[in-house]
Amino acid sequence: MLFLPAATTVSVDDRSEKWLEAFHRGDRATLEQCYREHFETVARAVGTVLGGVERESAIHEFFARLIAEPGMRRSFQGGALGSWLWTSARRSALDVARAGRREREVLADLEAEPRSHAAGPDVEEMEAQRTIEEFRSGPLPQRWARVFEVRFLRGLSQREAAAELGMRRTTLAYQELRIRHLLRRFILSRERR
C-alpha cells in the first residue's frame, strides 16, 4: 500500500486517478514508494544494456530524472507501472550506451588523425581549446572541474583518477556521467548557433 498525505490510502495496483495525480505532480511519498517498489525492476532493465559503474550511474540518473522532470512522469498514463518503468529505463540505458559508443568513436578518430604541430597549433585545435575554456567557465560546476581535468583532458582511467582525486570510483563515475551530460548539451547548443 502507498500512503499519501491526509490519510488517503491508494493501492499502487489500482493506479487510481488520485495516485496518478500524486505521481504526476511529484508527490514525495508517491515517488519514494515507486523507488522502493521498483528499484530492482529499473536495475534489471538497465542491466540488460549496461554493466558495472555505468549501470549504477544510469539507474540513479534515471530515478533522478523521474523525480526532477514532470514531463517524464506525465508520460505514464496509467496501467502497469513496472512495465512502463522497465521500458523507460531500458531506453534510457540504450541512450547512455549509444552516447558512450559515439564518444569512443570520436576519440578514436581524433587519436588516429595525423597531426603536424611544426607550424604551431591549427585552427581546429584552437577552436577546441576555446570550446573547452567556454565549457569550464560556463556550464561546468566548479566542484567537478578536477574530474573534468583528469578524466576528459588528461585521459586518466577511472581508477587512476579516483586515486589521484582521493574519491571513490563510484563517486567519480557519477560526476563523470553528469559532466558528459552537461558537455553533450553544451556542444549541441553551440552547434545550433
Q: Give the relative orientation of helices 123-137 and 169-192 as an angle to the nearest 10 degrees.
A: 120
Asked if residue 165 has pLDDT above 50, the reply is yes
Alpha-carbon distance of 74 to 23, in angstroms, equals 8
CATH code, domain with 15: 1.10.1740.10
| The total number of structural domains that make up the chain | 2
What band does 4 get if pLDDT is binned at 50, 70 and 90?
very low
Can you give the residue range of the structural domain that contains 125?
Answer: 121-192
Alpha-carbon distance of 186 to 131, in angstroms, equals 9
Is 187 domain-assigned? yes
Q: Identify the pLDDT of residue 121.
A: 60
Mean pLDDT over 40-49 rounds to: 95
Q: Identify the pLDDT of residue 164.
A: 92
Q: Identify the pLDDT of residue 48.
A: 94
Long-range pairs, 137-140, Cβ under 8 A, ≥24: 138/186, 139/182, 139/185, 139/186, 140/179, 140/182, 140/183
